[in-house]
Structure 1
Amino acid sequence: MSAALKEALRARALEEGFSGLGVCRPDAIPEAAARLEAFVAAGRHGQMGWMAERMGWRGNPAALWPEARSVIMLAEVYTPVQDPMAVTMMRDKGAISVYARNRDYHDVVKKRLKRLGRWLIEMAGGEIKVFVDTAPVMEKPLAAAAGLGWQGKHTNLLSRDLGNWFFLGAIFTTLDLPADAPARDHCGSCTACLSACPTDAFPAPYQLDARRCISYLTIEHAGPVDPALRPALGNRIYGCDDCLAACPWNKFAAQAREVKYAARADLVAPDLAVLAGFDDAGFRAHFSGSPIKRIGRDRFLRNVLYAIGNSGDRALAEVARRHLDDPDEAVADAACWAVSRLE
C-alpha cells in the first residue's frame, strides 16, 4: 500500500506543478551536523547567526519533529527563458537573480506544498509539516538523500534531468513511505561553477565561504561591504547566478511551468538611475510580492550604489551624489564610494 501511495503522491505532485519528488528518512543525513558545525566554526556563515543558534535542529531533521517517519522532498523548476548572464554586461542596468524577478517563491511553493499535503492526509491520514527555506531544515542534503539530485561543487543541488534552476520544498509526515536511493555525484572533473565565481567564494570544491558570496553580500549582509569585494560585485544588486549559469548540466534543464516565475519585464534589466530614485514607499510599492522587498530600501539602495560605482558611467555620478547625506550610514558610504570611483 505504501508503495502505491507514494506513486500516487508522485503523480499528484506533478499535477500540482512540481518537477520531481523523492523520499528519505529524517535520519538520512548523519554527516550534515558535522559539516554544518565546521562551516560555522570557520565563521563562513558570516552574519547569519540563526545558523549557529538552531544548529541542533538543522543538523538533525529527526530532532525537528521526532514523530516524523518520512521526509518528502519536492523540486520546482524556475529555469530562465533569457540568458541570465546577459544583464551583467549592461553596466548601467541592475542584475537581479533569476529567482527574484517576479513573485516570492516562498509563497508560491508553500501553497503548492499545502495543497499536496492536504491531499496526502485525505488519502492516507497521518500528520504533516511543510517547509520552504524558512525553517531550520537542510533542504539540499535531504533532497540529495531523497534522490532528487546531488550537491555540486557550487554546493547547490543539481540534477541530470532538471539542471540546477529549481527550488526545494519539504513535507515531513508521520506516514512511513518507501525511501528512494540517494543520488550519485556526476560533477566529474568539471570546475566551471568554481571558475565562474566573481569573488572566489569557494575555498575548495563543495565548500562555500558565504562571506565572499555575492548572494550573501547583497541579501543577508548588513552594513557596508568590504571595499576590496565591491568591484567584483559588478552590477549585481540582488543575488548572483554566475555559478548556476555556468553548470553544463543546464543543457538538460526542464522548462519552468509556473507563470509566476516568468520575469517581470521591468526586472530583467532595470535602470540603475531609476532604482536609485526610490524612497521607502516607492521601494515597497515597486517590489510588492517580490522577495527583494524583504531586504528593505536601505540595503537595496546600498547595492544599487555599488553597481553605479562599478558602471564606469560618469553621468551616474550625480545620481550617487544625491545620497551622500543619506541617514543610513551604509548607503551614504556606498554613495561616497561610487562618486569617488566615477570622478
Structure 2
Amino acid sequence: MTTSYLSVTELCQLAREIKQWGKDLGFSEIGICDIDLSEHEAALQSWLDNGYHGEMSYMANHGMMRARPAELHPGTVRVVTARMDYLPPSAGFASNLSDPNLGYISRYAGGRDYHKLLRQRLKKLGDKIGEYCKQHGSVEHNFRPFVDSAPILERQLADKSGIGWTGKHSLLLNPEAGSWFFLGELLVDIPLPVDIPIAQQCGSCVACIKSCPTQAIVEDGIVDGRRCISYLTIELQGAIPVEFRDAIGNRIYGCDDCQLVCPINRHAPLTKESDFHTRENLVQPQLLSLFDWSEAYFLKTTQGSPIRRIGHKRWLRNIAVALGNAPFSDDIVQALQTKRQSDDVDDIVIEHIDWALNKQLTTQYQASRLTQRVIRAVEKGLVRDA
C-alpha cells in the first residue's frame, strides 16, 4: 500500500462521498473507524481459552490477527463498515415458532446468500474511492473488502464505526434498525476522519439472556457457541448433544430468539433488497415436506442460499430433531422409519432419527396413559365426561 496525499479538506469530502455512495449502492449505513482494537484482544483470548468457539477452529487459527486489521491487509489505516438490512416482509416469526409442525429458519437465511452480494457492492464502493483519489491527484488507492470471510472482529469494528453498540446477546444493535442487518468491511489505506461510537443503550434489560432456549449467553456480550442453537444447527459437524435437542424445538437452521425479544427490534425496517426475501418454499415450511427432500432436490432448491452450506445430511439431522419434538403423529413416525432405510442417511442422521422415533413413541405412550387415567376417573365419577 501507499500513503495518501489528499488534503484534510479532501479527506472530509471523501468521507461524506463514501457515505452517499454507500447508500446509492444499497447499504443502509456507512461508518468509518481507525484500526486500534487492542482493547478487545484479552476478551477474544479469554473466549477462545474457554472453548466457546467449539468446533469453529478457524476462530483460533490466526491468533490476534482478528484484532489487528493491518496484519490482515498491510497498510490499512481505516475500516469502512457497511450495514445492509435483511429483515424480509414474510418473516413469519410467531406462526413458524408456535406451530411445531413447521420448520423455523433464521430470518437471514431464507433468501440469497449475502456474502457475494455485499462483497460485490463493497468492491464497487472501493472502486469509487479509487476514482476520487485519482481525480484529486492522489497516489493509487488500495483496498480489500470482507464479508464475514476473514479473521477480523467485524462487530467490534462496526461498534467503533458508530453503526451501533454491542448488545448483551453479543450482536450489534442500531437504534433505528435493531439487529436485523448484515455487516461488511472495506479496509483502506486512507486516513479518513472517523465516526463517533454510539453509547450502549441496553440498560438493565436482560430479555435476550432470559429468552435463550439453551442458556448460551453466559455473560453480558459473551456467548458460549457450543450451546447456541445457531452453532448446533449450522456449524456443528457431528451429533447434536442430547441435552440440547428438546430445547431446539422446531428450529432447523439457526435461531432468532434473542433478537425476537429485543425491544430495539420492535420498529426495525424491512429490507429493500428483494434477494433477501424468503423463498416461497421456505415460507411456513412443513417439516414433513422438508424431510422428504432428496439430496438432489435439496441442492437444487438451496442453490445460492446460505442453507446449502450445511449439506443435505445435516439438514436431515436438524429436521429429525424437530420431528422428534413435534406432537405425536403416525405420519411422522412413518416418515422417520422410511428415511432411516433410505440411501440419504449416514450413522449420524440415523442416530437422530432413532432419537426422534423414541421421542415420538414416548409422547404417544404418555398421551395414552393420560387418556386411560381420564377414562378411569370418569368411570369413578371423579370428573364429568365432557
TM-score surpassing 0.5? yes
Equivalent residues of 1:78, 1:167 under 8 A apart: yes
Structure showing greater radius of gyration is 2
1:293 aligns with 308
2:20 aligns with 11
Equivalent residues of 1:320, 1:335 under 8 A apart: yes
Q: Distance in 2 between matches of 1:118 and 1:273?
A: 47
Equivalent residues of 1:56, 1:63 under 8 A apart: no
Shift in Å, 1:116: 1.2
Q: Distance in 1 between matches of 2:323 and 2:224?
A: 26
Identity of counterpart residues, as a percentage? 38
2:207 aligns with 192
Work out which of the residue numbers 128, 134, 138 in structure 1 matches 2:149. Answer: 134
Are 2:345 and 1:318 equivalent residues in the alignment?
no
Q: Distance in 1 between matches of 2:295 and 2:324?
A: 22
Are 2:67 and 1:36 equivalent residues in the alignment?
no
5 Å matches for 1:105-116?
Answer: 105-116=114-125
Shift in Å, 1:266: 1.4
1:79 aligns with 87
Shift in Å, 1:80: 3.3
1:341 aligns with 359
The 4+ residue runs of structure 1 with deviation greater than 3 A are: none
Task: Output one character per residue of 1:10-57: Cα deviation in whole Å (capped at 9) or x when no partner.
Answer: 011011110111111112x21222111101100111000011112321
Are 2:367 and 1:332 equivalent residues in the alignment?
no
Q: Distance in 1 between matches of 2:169 and 2:112?
A: 25
2:112 aligns with 103
Q: Which amino acid aligns with 1:238?
A: Y
Do the aligned partners of residues 327 and 78 (structure 1) sit closer, same or farther apart at CA in structure 2, a change above 3 Å counting? closer
Work out which of the residue numbers 259, 272, 280 in structure 1 matches 2:274. Answer: 259
Q: Distance in 2 between matches of 1:43 and 1:281?
A: 36
Task: Output one character per residue of 1:273-301: Cα deviation in whole Å (capped at 9) or x when no partner.
Answer: 11112222111011111010011001111
Shift in Å, 1:66: 2.5
Shift in Å, 1:84: 2.2
Equivalent residues of 2:313, 2:345 under 8 A apart: no
Work out which of the residue numbers 37, 54, 63 in structure 1 matches 2:62. Answer: 54
State the secondary structure of the residue aligned to 1:203.
strand
The TM-score normalised by the length of structure 2 is 0.86
Q: Distance in 2 between matches of 1:220 and 1:162?
A: 27
Task: Output one character per residue of 1:160-211: Cα deviation in whole Å (capped at 9) or x when no partner.
Answer: 1211100000000111110111221000011111111111101122110001
The TM-score normalised by the length of structure 1 is 0.97
Equivalent residues of 2:69, 2:76 under 8 A apart: no
Equivalent residues of 1:36, 1:55 under 8 A apart: no
Q: Distance in 2 between matches of 1:65 and 1:128?
A: 8
1:230 aligns with 245
Q: Which amino acid aligns with 1:89?
A: S
Q: Can you give the 5+ residue segments of structure 1 that lack an aligned partner in the other structure?
A: none
Q: Which amino acid aligns with 1:334?
A: H
Work out which of the residue numbers 100, 105, 127 in structure 2 matches 1:118. Answer: 127
Q: Distance in 2 between matches of 1:146 and 1:292?
A: 30
State the secondary structure of the residue aligned to 1:322.
helix
Do the aligned partners of residues 85 and 134 (structure 1) sit closer, same or farther apart at CA in structure 2, a change above 3 Å counting? farther
Identify the range of structure 1 (75-84 vs 200-209) with the bigger mean alpha-carbon deviation.
75-84
Task: Output one character per residue of 1:287-316: Cα deviation in whole Å (capped at 9) or x when no partner.
Answer: 111010011001111001000000113221
State the secondary structure of the residue aligned to 1:53.
coil
Q: Distance in 2 between matches of 1:341 and 1:207?
A: 32
Work out which of the residue numbers 33, 38, 41 in structure 2 matches 1:24. Answer: 33
State the secondary structure of the residue aligned to 1:186.
coil
Shift in Å, 1:245: 1.4
Shift in Å, 1:98: 0.5
1:271 aligns with 286
Task: Output one character per residue of 1:216-256: Cα deviation in whole Å (capped at 9) or x when no partner.
Answer: 00000011111110000000000111111111111232331
Name the Cα RMSD after superposition: 1.2
Q: Which amino acid aligns with 2:241?
A: D
Task: Output one character per residue of 1:112-149: Cα deviation in whole Å (capped at 9) or x when no partner.
Answer: 11111111111124111000001111110000011100
Equivalent residues of 2:92, 2:283 under 8 A apart: no
Q: Distance in 1 between matches of 2:324 and 2:123?
A: 44
**Number of aligned pairs?**
342
Shift in Å, 1:90: 1.4
State the secondary structure of the residue aligned to 2:223.
coil
